[in-house]
Amino acid sequence: MECQRCESPRVLDVNSKCSDRFSMWLGDKTYDGYVPEDIGIGGSDYMDFRYCLDCGQIQGEFPVSGEEDAFEEMNSEWED
């Protein structure tokens, strides 16, 4: 596979099982629970994504949403 951005062949495939121990931060908000299905890095108990070791591009279709605040609205379990 070549990188969708720089066409480098150095694309790393990342797979991980994290059960419900997944955490993420966006600004001053945090989320703990299962991997969200709608952010492009896997879903449920698994993280599964590819990224380029040369330019850092995560492979896939982005942006996640066309609306500025849609990411926050998708995840009602965010905590301050």
Please check whether residue 2 lies inside any domain of the structure. Answer: yes
Whether 52 is in a domain gets the answer yes
- Asked if residue 30 belongs to a domain, the reply is yes
* pLDDT greater at residue 30 or residue 77: 30
Do the domain assignments include residue 71? Answer: no
- Across-strand partners of 26? 29
Distance CA 79, CA 63 (A): 23
Does 79 reside within a domain? no
Residue range 4-23: mean pLDDT, rounded: 95
Considering the domain boundaries, does residue 46 fall inside one? Answer: yes
Query: How do residues 22-53 score in pLDDT, each as one tens digit?
Result: 999 988 889 899 998 888 899 999 999 999 99
Count the domains in the chain.
Answer: 1
- Cα angle value 72/28/33 (rounded, 5°): 60
pLDDT of residue 66: 53
Which of these, 20, 18, 5, lies nearest to 51 by C-alpha position? 5
Q: Which residues of 57-79 are buried (b: 16+ CB within 10 A; e: fewer)?
A: bebeeeeeeeeeeebeeeeeebe
Q: Answer whether residue 68 is part of any domain.
A: no
Domain that holds residue 33: 1-61
Average pLDDT over residues 44-71: 84
Position 76 pLDDT exceeds 70: no
